[in-house]
Amino acid sequence: MRFLIYMSDYIIPFLFLYIVAFGLLMKTNVFDDFLQGAKDGFKVVFDILPTLIGLMVAIGILRASGTLNIISDILRPLTDLLHFPSQLVPVAIIKLFSSSAATSLVLDIFKEYGPDSYLGRLVSVMMSSTETIFYTLAVYFMAAGVKKTRYTLLGCLLTTLTGIIVSVIMTNLVF
């Protein structure tokens, strides 16, 4: 265990020195390449900033308006049939858009039910088994200039649904 802690302390500085040494060995101007990469990074951030702001505003509106609770109440008969707690529906929906917003909902669940409760354990496993699909598609596809996503969205949604189902099964088996 000490070896892993030791390695984790030195891996980033080693990687940094390796990149600089390799660049010098290949006779490239490392600093100019770094500056060019930083400029390109700012350009990408500037290009995707409106999308990020739109996603964050939409999530704030959904959460503050109580729409997520209404959706949970509407889906309660279905979630009861599938043995999925309806209290976690808002987390599953918001996680599609923002992991940090979903984390705030998880903290709310921890405060209300406790982190060691069934809901606390299930939401923890569910958070690690799902992805922020719309955020990822918006940011990476926009940065890469992809206009047609083809079957990507459907595949991502099916994978996230599978992650949610497996998290319920695993939580019931292990805990």
Quote the pTM value: 0.69
Task: Tell me how far apart the alpha carbons of residues 117 and 141 are, in angstroms, rounded to a whole number.
Answer: 38
Question: pLDDT category, 8, cuts 50, 70, 90?
Answer: confident
* Cα R_g (the chain), whole angstroms: 21
Could you give the C-alpha distances from 34 to 16, 37, 64, 95, in angstroms and in order?
12, 5, 42, 34
Does 113 score more than 70 pLDDT? yes
Task: Tell me how far apart the alpha carbons of residues 130 and 154 are, in angstroms, rounded to a whole number.
Answer: 14
The encoded tokens of residue 21 equal: 């040494």
Query: In this structure, what are the phi and psi dihedrals at residue 97, rounded to the nearest 5 degrees?
Result: -110, -40
Q: What is the DSSP letter of 83?
A: T
| Per-residue pLDDT tens digits for 61-110 | 888 898 988 999 999 999 998 889 999 999 999 999 888 888 888 999 99
